């Protein structure tokens, strides 16, 4: 699949300034890992990615008709997310950096939506942002999280 970036006008401007040349291949690799992990290209997959200095929170969800199931993300997704954050950090000032991004597949293409600080309430955090993204993508479907996570 081909990565397609979306979001605010700022994201479009960043991509114009060679950001896509650096981020595009990483985002495509991100999508390939998701496909490998869930075993198919699926427009039912959704990722929420939040990063801070060399740290990432990645959550992978797949719509399974009546429910949405959380999957333990492949370790490589964390590595790529922090690499995306590092490249982005090197390219612009901290105040212009995205806060989190959402990643899904639409029309057989990977879609990345960067969300910037001015687009979210200051009183919320990553878990609330993730919940908003899930509701936007899947509506009121019940999300299943495993009771006990398998050992890594």
For the segment 99-121, what is each residue's pLDDT rounded down to a tens digit? Answer: 889 998 777 778 888 888 888 88
Look at residue 148 and give its three-state secondary structure: coil
Q: Distance between the two ends of the chain, CA-based, in angstroms? A: 29
Q: Say whether 13 sits in a helix, a strand or coil.
A: helix
Which pLDDT value is given to residue 148?
55
**Mean of pLDDT values over 7-17:** 47
Q: Percentage of the chain with pLDDT > 90?
A: 30
For 131, the token pair is 């919940």
58, 73 Cβ separation under 8 angstroms: yes
Predicted local distance difference test score (pLDDT) of residue 91: 61
Give the residue-averaged pLDDT of 25-43: 85
Q: Residue 151's pLDDT is what?
A: 54
pTM: 0.77
Q: How far apart are CA 149 and CA 145, in angstroms?
A: 9
Give pLDDT, residue 147: 66
The torsion angles phi and psi of 32, rounded to 5 degrees, stand at -65, -40
What DSSP string describes 29-80? HHHHHHHHHHTS--TTEEEEEEEETTEEEEEEEEEETTEEEEEPPPHHHHHH
């Amino acid at each position: 699949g081909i990565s397609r970036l979306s979001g605010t006008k700022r994201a479009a401007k960043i991509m114009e300034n060679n950001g896509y040349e650096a981020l595009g291949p990483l985002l495509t690799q991100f999508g390939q890992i998701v496909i490998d992990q869930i075993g198919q290209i699926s427009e039912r997959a959704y990722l929420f990615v939040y990063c801070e200095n060399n740290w990432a929170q990645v959550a992978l969800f797949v719509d399974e008709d009546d429910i949405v199931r959380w999957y333990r993300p492949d370790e490589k997704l964390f590595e790529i997310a922090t690499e995306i954050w590092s490249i982005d950090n090197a390219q612009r000032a901290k105040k212009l950096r995205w806060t989190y991004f959402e990643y899904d597949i639409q029309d057989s293409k990977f879609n990345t939506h960067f969300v910037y600080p001015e687009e979210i309430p200051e009183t919320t955090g990553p878990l609330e942002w993730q919940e908003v993204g899930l509701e936007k993508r899947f509506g009121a479907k019940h999300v299943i999280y495993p009771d006990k996570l398998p050992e890594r």
